[in-house]
Amino acid sequence: MLVIGPPGSGKGTQAARISERLGVLAISTGEIFRANVKDGTPLGLEARKYIDAGGFVPDGATNNMVHERLSGNDTQNGFLLDGYPRTAAQTDYLDKILDAQGQGLDMVLELAADREELTARLLGRARAAGRTDDTRHVIRRRLGLYHEQTEAVVSEYAKPGILASVDGTGAIEAVTDRLFQAISTRTAAAPRRPSPVYRAAGPSRGM
């Protein structure tokens, strides 16, 4: 399963809630990057340059990190990805990883919110947590990049019918309820379906 949405949409919060309720491993690329930045690792030093400038970490570094993480034994019974894929190239790379493992996606959840709401959330988060990557200028750039790059990913996942768009505004609990309603609807409506590139791959175990 994937959780997709623009910066500030609440992906991390909701991914953690889904993970806890369903007992599914949550993998957040943002958390991995921030941990590396904090520890001063080579990946962290590279990532920080892009994060502080409001950009995305290049596909090569991100793909390698995700590939390594998805190769772990703890992903074989299901996983939930938060923050990846962000670009069409990352989507293709994820397809290849899962195809090689005989896996496929069950569902892609998109959290939607308007730009003003997202900006207000991110500025509030910056004040509360002192995050250097959440200035107004950086926020505008990150939202612009999402519009340019990641919305194409959302469109691609809509083609095989595994995408559910959920209103991400309002109280956290209300958003969680909407997400689980979407999950229930998807589960009841159709059998599992692999993601676009590897439709002929083996049985799906993405959730």
Sequence-ordered alpha helix ranges (H) in 106-171: 115-129, 136-145, 151-158
The catalytic position among 69, 121, 142, 205 is 142
Determine whether 69 is an active site residue: no
Decide if 11 is catalytic: yes
The span from the CA of 150 to the CA of 154, in Å, is: 7
- Choice among 131, 141, 192, 193 that is catalytic: 131
CA distance 46 to 56: 11
- Measure the CA–CA gap between 172 and 65, rounded to whole angstroms: 29
- Selecting among 17, 48, 86, 186, the annotated active-site residue is 86
Q: In what order do the strands lie in the sheet with 79-82?
A: 25-28, 79-82, 2-4, 108-112, 163-167
The catalytic residue among 125, 141, 192, 193 is 125
Q: What residues contact residue 151 under an 8 Å CB cut-off, 6+ apart?
A: none
The closest alpha carbon to 4, from 135, 145, 157, belongs to: 157
How does 124-133 read in b/e, with b if 16+ C-beta sit within 10 Å? eebeeeeeeb
Q: Are 110 and 164 in contact (CB under 8 A)?
A: yes
Q: Which of 161, 153, 151 shows the shortest CA–CA distance to 106?
A: 161
Q: Which of 11, 17, 186, 205 is catalytic?
A: 11
86 is catalytic: yes
Show which residues are catalytic.
11, 86, 125, 131, 142
